[in-house]
Structure 1
């Protein structure tokens, strides 16, 4: 559980929070999902859900929206897809300010707590009973990620550790043998794989990716208290060294928006990433052969835990109906479809089946025990912007700052 002091103003509506994220949660089959729904006297309402994701995600969501009236006859559900995570977070604050934002959204824990702290999401506790929601269908660990100061802010959708992706064909053609378990092994393999216009490693200069390196060295941001720890410095040095060697590439260098595009276009052989790769690659390059393994170790086993949830915005006109629609999106039928796309559902009934149905992610299962929350400072946008700006200045802009100087400079802004 995270505890934060509430902000005193909503002027943060102009903020743009960029997350690497990723990734998304019909006939309802949650045991109690519809028991109190569709009662006579409920006013008809149109609810809008916002998300960003793949075309396959949209198809699942639209099918669920078309069927929601079977469980909640009073709800008409519209689905709004944003083109990318960056545009999602750039557009959403202005929509909130103008009163035209969706009623609820699917969001990752990577960037949620800044918005919770500043009061832009609704605490759900007082609406759960009137909406007829059974929160016992979700694991306690999933619930806790979305609690702040003892209040519940999200309906859990999925939980999954970060991963490391390898182009299987490139790996085998290079005769590299066993897959890497450490960054030293990744670095050695990347030198072999970097040739003919292909880079051995994609390292998106993005807080998500940098954080996974940090956690693999036993580091982390400590909610702003340990930004310049020796472990984090060592992790950033690893990233910067691989760029200096010419074996790593950032998507921006190649004109792409994110690491998945580079991987799908086979211009990079390896990349940190997440479960959202499965759905994206099935659409972008269905013939690509890949393997997913745990994030390599620096000095320890560690990575981030991505948890998606549905959150109701503070200005939703009918919060009870919005909560019912969000709950509906986590029913077994919808979640089974997302499980087929690579998502580990935050449902007690389905999560144990996940790795059986997604054998390509079986190697990741042990990481459920070693992955953890992102630990960003409350002012998440300020932190991620500053971190990315300073690292990019070295890798893309010719700055000669060391990893320690970068992190000391960022830490000084969060004393």
Structure 2
């Protein structure tokens, strides 16, 4: 049954590509995504499951939690299990239920089939990245280059080659941003409904990302009418909230909310000490204040691992990843200048996720390996701006079949249902 699911998922990937692109584009896109799909399965078999790298244990933890859900289903029937039934599912209920469902279909452990589904979601994310790049002004050639880079980005490749949640989280964040960009081009209530579904899914994958994505989504709604007078007010408000967070001015407002609970946990000294204890750990003289030493923390959150750093094997391999990131950052700086001259609203919308996101991660900075995983969605959103820098003909038409946001939104909903 496990191999049948893997085969079925591979067929679904072919169908998804054919449904999203023209015949000419399929000839270029399908080999890339199929190669990336197979690469993830090989990494799963040769590296992650064999523990050749000795990296991480999240995938094993999620597998154990999924097995407990399957055991609960045998007693109470198949249902979506939340933290109310199993407390340790808080903020990770969706991936664990997804893996549990696959294990339930296979009648036992099914890491290979689960990895195939995660790899399929990663491929769907690459398609969304392509579509989003087209929406913000990139041409088909630049969008395809971005699709290739995204598909084989080292950290993304590794963390979608087993039962990790990072690829699912990145998919949902990019889907949210794509739908918001699509609404700016053509409003449709179904897109708003899909954004609601994405938020609901994010709540059960990485809760704080709901709040991080909410600001650019709100900004997108406010700028549907380009002459709307509160658009600039929204920008000031969003960055004002970031400043208040830095000063601790909204602690009382957030007190008792899930977001504050997440912040308290991330800023807890015990959590920071635990994260910094590994071979990729770093520490800062911040006096116990998460906003202390914010400049060096921000530099680490944005640019680490640095080439001169010593540490674990994973940290050294992370330097390959950061070479891609430096290239994307340089291109993003050029693309931002172009975008500022052409469409400032889109640039500001993307920055409303990127800038507060890196600042928030800087306050919890304690481990280089961890930040490589956490910043993955922010890297991908930044790379959308990079694609603008690679564009030669901004007016060149997309070679995909479904250029409308409604059709790709339907594809997003299908993947969400699978997940």
Query: TM-score, normalising length from structure 1?
Result: 0.22
Q: Which has the higher contact order (CA 8 A, sep 6+)?
A: 1
- The structure richer in strand per residue is 1
In the superposition, the TM-score normalised over structure 2's length comes to 0.22
